[in-house]
Chain A
């Protein structure tokens, strides 16, 4: 039952965990799918233009009909631009921007331009970076929207570094850089759109360092920054004494802070968030913001002024919500998503640990239960064995007691028989003698034979007395102390007298008891024999046994000096004997006490009086 309970518990726990993890995964799925959609969209955008179907794209159509280029141009001389635009719209369903967004010259430029060649920063996550050979990031998404609006295809020119990208723009190998800060140096070869991304530069330190209000307060400390960053130039011109460790990438710059190689780094919040989460650098904090702003613009090759205007117009059209969406896609959501993912893992690990703990305790409990069960079985067996042993002992005890009684009986019979046997023997010897002397007359013979007959009768009656005495009679009968004692003395008195012990009888009880006479007789016999043994053992002069009855009390006392006080408490214990003779089984008094107290409902006690031991039987008489 317990096992099932635990399994049930585990299942509930697991299902809870699975449910919660699903809940966690859900937004992630939605997010990834939306990201995937956008990615697909962005990916298809540069290669296939506005339409997915290759041949319908204006750019491709144009390429395919390259031979007709001059023809269109020639026609263009006769038809106004509005007319051409209308025609295009009619045939290709394409309209550039919203009505009146772009001037005719600009539209014409766009139709002719077809492709914008783009160079990117391959290593500026999440603003702009290359992954799986595809440029991605906030700037790329923004550029995607722009390109969609103006129906221009984007062609990404692969570069190995940001420096190379800048170089390519200089050499006009590409038209634009999607995200660049306007600097004097770059002004030489590029025009800049108005900034579409504005970031405060965050000061990043370890989280055990104090917060900073401005960069000046920590300008004496070492900082790290990605090599080739425009910021380095800017900082060095502003703070000539600043020490900057130039690193290979942003990750290294941030790692240096985390590892304590430098005191701080300056970076945009999205970049910091991205790398912090990517490498799980929990010991970092945003200690403050510098007053410097990172204003990202699209850098356009210096000679293409028209493109700059078009891009500015397109950027203007991007509303705040779209900007936020893009930003969140690459920063906040990513952060949240990662945090959730970690939370999921933590939850899973915690759950696993809990399950393992539960399992551990379940197994432990089970083992303990098994052990207890086994112990119980063992205990039961031991108890059974102990009971069996006790029963065996009890049986043995009874047997021994019975043997002892039989021994006593034989000894008593011997005493009873000795005299009549001797008499028979003597009588027969007399007959023998008289016959030899020819003196046996008829009368003498008859007299002697009748004597022998009477002695034999005595022997026979003795046997009957003993048989009656030791017969097991489980029936209750009404009797008195006098009856019981007389019956006992009938078989024992001769042996006592033979041993020269004086027997005092002081009978003063007429109380009638309803009890087991034979058992009681055996107790009385046993107590008298006990007194006799003590007297003979100690070789007492003028040995005496006194039997007294008064109402419900019977005492049997001797003048053998009593039982020594250090063993008087053990005198009724089984197998306890002080007798030096071989026939002391140590059971007599034990059996006597059992009979009086358990069978007859009375009490048997021993005290020492001034002469010796005094056994006292108290029974409940009938009123």
Chain B
């Protein structure tokens, strides 16, 4: 496993789209994300996320699933139509196998459960940076 500092070094330049409808969740999670990413764009629901992705280039999407207007999985599905290679980490409170299966089918990189376990999150990030460096 890479050193934490090395990972942060490699993630600092990644442009992140973070989609979360719950404000409290957004604020607390951002405290963590700020340590890894210099450039974070926040969207408040699926539709907002899709619009923001369409307007700007991103390297990584971290999204919730259960959101009003457009849920996380539907949003990913729509984004995949625009960019098939974009890396996605799902951060969900749902642990139903159905969501998990759908997520795999959409070709996501990691599926993490809320609340965030910091080691799992770092592990997921390290995989992405290795892939992107290839």
Residues on A close to B: CB < 8 A?
418-427, 429-430, 432-434, 436-437, 439, 448, 451, 498, 500
A419 and B118 contacting across the interface, CB-CB below 8 Å? no
Could you list some 23 contacts between A and B, CB below 8 A?
A418-B114, A419-B22, A419-B25, A420-B24, A421-B115, A422-B28, A422-B115, A424-B115, A425-B115, A425-B116, A426-B28, A426-B116, A427-B28, A429-B116, A429-B118, A430-B28, A437-B8, A437-B35, A439-B35, A451-B28, A498-B66, A500-B67, A500-B68
Closest to A414 in B: B93
Note all chain A residues with C-beta closer than 8 A to B28: 422-423, 426-427, 430, 451
Instruction: Give the tally of cross-chain contacts (CB within 8 A).
Output: 57
Note all chain B residues with C-beta closer than 8 A to A451: 28
- Once the chains are docked, how many angstroms separate the CA of A421 from the CA of B118? 15
In the A-B complex, list the 8 residue pairs whose CB atoms are closest, starting with the nearest. Answer: A425-B115, A426-B28, A422-B115, A429-B118, A500-B68, A430-B31, A423-B28, A422-B114
Chain B CB within 10 A, most for which of A432, A439, A500: A500
Chain A CB within 10 A, most for which of B22, B24, B28, B118: B28
- Once the chains are docked, how many angstroms separate the CA of A448 from the CA of B8? 21
Note all chain B residues with C-beta closer than 8 A to A432: 118
Residues on B close to A: CB < 8 A?
4-5, 8, 22, 24-25, 28-29, 31-32, 35, 66-68, 93, 114-118, 121
Contacts A429-B118, A432-B118, A434-B35 given: A422-B25 contact, CB under 8 Å?
A: yes
Note all chain A residues with C-beta closer than 8 A to B118: 429, 432-433
A419 and B31 contacting across the interface, CB-CB below 8 Å? no
- Once the chains are docked, how many angstroms separate the CA of A419 from the CA of B22? 8
B31 and A427 contacting across the interface, CB-CB below 8 Å? yes
* Least Cβ–Cβ distance between B64 and chain A, in angstroms: 11
A437 and B4 contacting across the interface, CB-CB below 8 Å? yes
Closest to B91 in A: A422
Closest to A501 in B: B68
- Once the chains are docked, how many angstroms separate the CA of A433 from the CA of B121? 11
- Once the chains are docked, how many angstroms separate the CA of A423 from the CA of B5? 25
* Least Cβ–Cβ distance between A27 and chain B, in angstroms: 115
A423 and B25 contacting across the interface, CB-CB below 8 Å? yes
- Once the chains are docked, how many angstroms separate the CA of A27 from the CA of B8? 145
Note all chain B residues with C-beta closer than 8 A to A427: 28, 31
Note all chain B residues with C-beta closer than 8 A to A498: 66
Chain B CB within 10 A, most for which of A425, A426, A434, A451: A426
* Least Cβ–Cβ distance between A446 and chain B, in angstroms: 14
* Least Cβ–Cβ distance between B62 and chain A, in angstroms: 13
Note all chain A residues with C-beta closer than 8 A to B4: 436-437
The one of A420, A430, A439, A500 in contact with B32, judged by C-beta atoms closer than 8 angstroms, is A430
B24 and A423 contacting across the interface, CB-CB below 8 Å? yes
* Least Cβ–Cβ distance between B46 and chain A, in angstroms: 11
Note all chain A residues with C-beta closer than 8 A to B116: 422, 425-426, 429
- Once the chains are docked, how many angstroms separate the CA of A437 from the CA of B34? 13
Note all chain A residues with C-beta closer than 8 A to B93: 418, 422
Closest to A500 in B: B68
Contacts A423-B24, A498-B66 given: A433-B32 contact, CB under 8 Å?
A: yes
The one of B8, B68, B115 in contact with A426, judged by C-beta atoms closer than 8 angstroms, is B115
- Once the chains are docked, how many angstroms separate the CA of A500 from the CA of B22? 12
- Once the chains are docked, how many angstroms separate the CA of A214 from the CA of B64? 139
Note all chain A residues with C-beta closer than 8 A to B29: 426
Chain A CB within 10 A, most for which of B5, B8, B31, B32: B31
Note all chain B residues with C-beta closer than 8 A to A420: 24
Note all chain A residues with C-beta closer than 8 A to B114: 418, 422, 425
Note all chain A residues with C-beta closer than 8 A to B115: 421-426, 429
B5 and A437 contacting across the interface, CB-CB below 8 Å? yes
Note all chain B residues with C-beta closer than 8 A to A426: 25, 28-29, 31-32, 115-116
* Least Cβ–Cβ distance between B45 and chain A, in angstroms: 9
Closest to B34 in A: A430
Q: A437-B35, A448-B31 are in contact. List 13 more A-B contacts (CB 8 A).
A: A418-B114, A419-B25, A420-B24, A422-B28, A425-B114, A426-B29, A429-B32, A429-B117, A430-B31, A430-B32, A430-B35, A437-B8, A498-B66
Note all chain B residues with C-beta closer than 8 A to A418: 93, 114
Closest to A439 in B: B35
Closest to B25 in A: A422
Note all chain B residues with C-beta closer than 8 A to A419: 22, 24-25
- Once the chains are docked, how many angstroms separate the CA of A419 from the CA of B26? 11
Note all chain B residues with C-beta closer than 8 A to A430: 28, 31-32, 35
* Least Cβ–Cβ distance between A617 and chain B, in angstroms: 29
- Once the chains are docked, how many angstroms separate the CA of A439 from the CA of B22? 27
- Once the chains are docked, how many angstroms separate the CA of A436 from the CA of B119? 12
- Once the chains are docked, how many angstroms separate the CA of A590 from the CA of B8? 59
- Once the chains are docked, how many angstroms separate the CA of A500 from the CA of B31? 26
- Once the chains are docked, how many angstroms separate the CA of A415 from the CA of B28? 18
- Once the chains are docked, how many angstroms separate the CA of A424 from the CA of B114? 11
Closest to B5 in A: A437
Note all chain B residues with C-beta closer than 8 A to A500: 66-68
* Least Cβ–Cβ distance between A320 and chain B, in angstroms: 135
- Once the chains are docked, how many angstroms separate the CA of A419 from the CA of B116? 12
Note all chain B residues with C-beta closer than 8 A to A424: 115
- Once the chains are docked, how many angstroms separate the CA of A567 from the CA of B67? 34
- Once the chains are docked, how many angstroms separate the CA of A153 from the CA of B67? 151
* Least Cβ–Cβ distance between A586 and chain B, in angstroms: 26
Note all chain A residues with C-beta closer than 8 A to B35: 430, 433-434, 437, 439
